[in-house]
Amino acid sequence: MGTIFRIVLYCEDSTKAKIIIEKAFKKLDELNLTLSDYREDSEINKLCRNAYNQEVKVSADLFEILLESKKAYSQSNYTFDKNSCLLKHKSKVPEVKLGLIKLC
């Protein structure tokens, strides 16, 4: 996805912490396969190549991202461009802090 991820986890059980971090990075790998515009085989690139002329079934993750993008587009007074397929590599993406995510 062209970015760096850092996970900060506070946990009394180091074994449990290791499992949680492994699951988190596994999910990031899955999302990379779905959302990366750097990979020709990513789901988002397949969607961009094919959706104009045929229906394309998408994963739950991609569907959720598309719905959230549509909301951001509306809430930003139509300044957030949800058409990421058209914006490949035009600028650096700013850092986004997601906050705390409950993993267990």
Nearest to 62 by CA among 53, 77, 51: 51
The model's pTM is 0.61
Higher confidence at residue 101 or residue 55?
Answer: 55
How many angstroms separate the CA atoms of 56 and 96, rounded? 29
User: Could you give the CA distance from residue 60 to residue 67 in angstroms, rounded to a whole number?
Assistant: 10
Q: Is the pLDDT of residue 5 over 60?
A: yes
**pLDDT tens across 18-76, in order?**
999 999 999 999 988 898 888 899 998 888 888 878 888 889 988 888 888 888 888 88
CB neighbours (10 Å) of residue 96? 7
